[in-house]
Amino acid sequence: MSVADLIPKTATEIVSLLKNGEVTTGDLLDALEQRIEAVDGTINALPTLCFDRARDRASAASKDSVLAGLPVAIKDLTATQGVLTTYGSPIYKDNVPDSSDILVQMLEAEGGVVYAKANTPEFGAGANTFNEVFGRTVNPWNTSRSVAGSSGGSAAALASGTAWLASGSDLGGSLRNPASFCGIVGFRPTPGRVAHGPSDLPFGSMSVDGPMARNVPDVALMLDAMAGEHPVDPMSLARPAESFTDAVKAKRMPKRVALSTDLGGITPVDKEVAAIVEKAAKVFEDMGCIVEEASPDFTDVQLVFQTLRAMQFAAGKKALLEKHRDLLKPEVIWNIEKGLELTMDEIAQAELARGRLYHRVEQFYRTYDLVLSPATIVPPYPVEHRYVEACNGHTFSNYIEWCTVAYAFTCASCPALSVPAGFTADGLPVGLQIAGRPRGEADLLSAAALYETAAGIKSGIPIDPRAGS
Cβ pair 287, 253 in contact under 8 A: yes
Known active-site residue 249: no
Examine the residue annotation and report whether 174 is marked as an active-site residue of this protein.
yes
Residue 128 CB partners (closer than 8 Å, separation 6+): 121, 136, 146, 147, 148, 149, 152, 383, 385, 386, 387
Residue of 196, 198, 195, 178 whose CA lies nearest to 186: 178
Q: Tell me the three state secondary structure of residue 64.
A: coil
Q: Which of 75, 117, 317, 329 is catalytic?
A: 75
Contacts of 104 (CB under 8 A, 6+ apart): 74, 78, 79, 80, 81, 114
For 116-170, the three-class secondary structure string (H helix, E strand, C coil) is EEECCCHHHCCCCCEECCCEECEECCEEEEECCCCCHHHHHHHHHCCCCEEEEEE
What is the residue-wise DSSP string for 300-354? THHHHHHHHHHHHHHHHHHHHHHHHGGGS-HHHHHHHHHHHT--HHHHHHHHHHH
Detail the DSSP E strand segments found in 22-127.
48-49, 71-75, 113-118
Identify the bridge partners of residue 186 per DSSP, sorted by sequence position: 212, 418
- State the catalytic residue, choosing from 150, 151, 169, 180: 150
Which residue out of 65, 167, 169, 174 is catalytically annotated? 174
Contacts of 427 (CB under 8 A, 6+ apart): 141, 142
Whether 151 is a known active-site residue: answer no
Q: Is the dihedral of CA 282, 284, 287, 291 positive or negative?
A: negative
Length of the chain as a residue count: 469
Check: CB of residue 288 under 8 Å from CB of residue 369.
Answer: no
Map residue 31 onto helix, strand or coil.
Answer: helix
Which candidate, 50, 35, 16, 5, places its Cα nearest to that of 157?
35
Active site residues: 75, 150, 174
